[in-house]
Homo-oligomer: A and B are copies of this chain.
Amino acid sequence: MRIVALAGGVGGAKLVAGLAQVLPVQDLTVIVNTGDDFDHLGLRICPDLDTVCYTLAGMANPDTGWGLKDETWHALESIKKLGGPAWFALGDYDLGTHLERSRRLSSGVPLSTITREFCLQWDVKPVVLPMTDERVATQVLTAAGDVLPFQEYFVHQRCEPEVRGFRFEGVETCRPAPEVLETLALADLVILCPSNPWVSISPILAVPGIKDAIQRHPTIAVSPIIGGKAVKGPAAKMYAELGIVPSAKAVASQYRELLTGFVVDEVDRDQVDEISGWGIILHVTNTLMSTADDRYRLAREMMRFGEALTRR
């Protein structure tokens, strides 16, 4: 089964790492959100691409989910001492990634090519594709009337502003990165990872051509909302601020037009009937990925579920 997974940061990276263990390497492609990418200290930073790649390489910090393990923070210490902007945590090893990526981007190499080259050096086996090689900038519209660049909202203001909506600047006119549509065309199953539906999966789906390509294939999603709460990050807070009760059902409703199947946690079993009523096939299991074993088990269940769906 050829699988294409759509992923954002930590939650998506975990499931993708599980899938990479379950599947033959040539059968997994990950399309990653780049709406969070931004320029900081003259560097181009791609948080979701890095989280996915670091996780697949076994280099990720297991405590945070993002960044590198055994990281040091000496450059940031220097910047702080000089009164520079230290709100975005840049580890020293991680800085090497940003410096070298920025250098290659400046010399005209597309992000997708750089990602492929980096994956080769990091020994990342699955194909990892940015959703686009062009610049798309997620912006958060706030109740205070501000339009905040995503990292300003997410990191600098710690998701405190009340959200009213999102804008993916540049997405309407961007093209999917090379191989994105080609790989989707050959997919046997598309998986929407348990990443933030608003700011991780939506930007990918907004890239022209991607949603259409997905609609031609069986598609399953895993709810990033468990028991009304996000495992990590502001997804539940966003639902609430947008006037939607955060729930697995809300996620399924958001993806409704794309979904063949949906995976919800045991604690959300009460929502199964309603979601089923929309013609979506449900799989109920423990979806929390605390350990590497959890990832592996969930990925295996996803594959069995997907196989059953595609055989129908």
Contacts and interface: CB of A to CB of B under 8 A. Distances in A.
A79 B99 contact: yes
Contacts of A81: 96, 121-122
Given A72-B72, A99-B41, A78 B106 contact: no
A165 interface: no
Contacts of A49: none
B77 A93 contact: yes
A42 B103 contact: yes
A72 B72 CA distance: 9
Interface string A281-300: 00000000000000000000
A87 to B, nearest CB: 13
A75 B106 CA distance: 19
A72 to B, nearest CB: 6
A308 interface: no
Contacts of A100: 41, 78-79, 82, 84
Contacts of A41: 99-100, 102-103
A166 interface: no
A7 B122 CA distance: 43
A291 B103 CA distance: 40
Contact of A96 (B42, B82, B99, B103): B82
A95 B96 CA distance: 10
Contacts of A95: 74-75, 78, 92, 95
A77 B106 CA distance: 21
A120 to B, nearest CB: 9
Contacts of A122: 81
A93 B95 CA distance: 12
B96 A74 contact: yes
Contact of A75 (B42, B92, B121): B92
Contacts of A117: 82-83
Contacts of A93: 74-75, 77-78
B106 A82 contact: no
Given A41-B103, A103-B42, A96 B75 contact: yes
Interface string A67-111: 000011011111101111100000111111101101100100000
A118 interface: yes
**Residue of A82, A84, A85, A93 with most partner-chain B CB within 10 A:** A82
Nearest 5 CB-CB pairings of A with B = A78-B96, A74-B92, A84-B100, A92-B92, A75-B96
9 contacts: A41-B99, A72-B74, A74-B92, A74-B96, A75-B96, A76-B96, A77-B96, A81-B96, A95-B95
